[in-house]
Amino acid sequence: MKKSLHPENYRFVVFKDMSNGIAFLSRSTAPSKETVKWEDGKDYPLIKLEISNTSHPFFTGKNVLVDTTGRIEKFKKRYEKKTK
């Protein structure tokens, strides 16, 4: 394996799935400006995820629609006018 290929600055980071609120602690080099207090009482950088393995249909076996930006409501409003 090539030397100095992987970063050296790994640290513990909390990843939070915003679609279902589940959070987990892992190591990462991803930058973050937010912090959160974890179960052990320490503050860790927070990385917000739109979807993770806890909410993705492939991993859950459920076909759940995640609408985080209101696209469905916009679609319904747009085509509701045309059907009337």
User: pLDDT tens digits for 18-74?
Assistant: 888 889 999 999 999 999 999 999 999 999 988 777 776 665 667 655 555 677 777
Residue-range domain boundaries for the chain: 11-83
Q: Is the pLDDT of residue 83 over 70?
A: no
Q: Compute, in degrees rounded to 10, the torsion defined by CA atoms 50, 53, 55, 61.
A: 150
Can you tell me the distance from the alpha carbon of 46 to that of 34, in angstroms, rounded to the nearest whole number? 5
Closest CA to 45 of 29, 57, 56, 33: 33
In one letter, which amino acid is 32? S
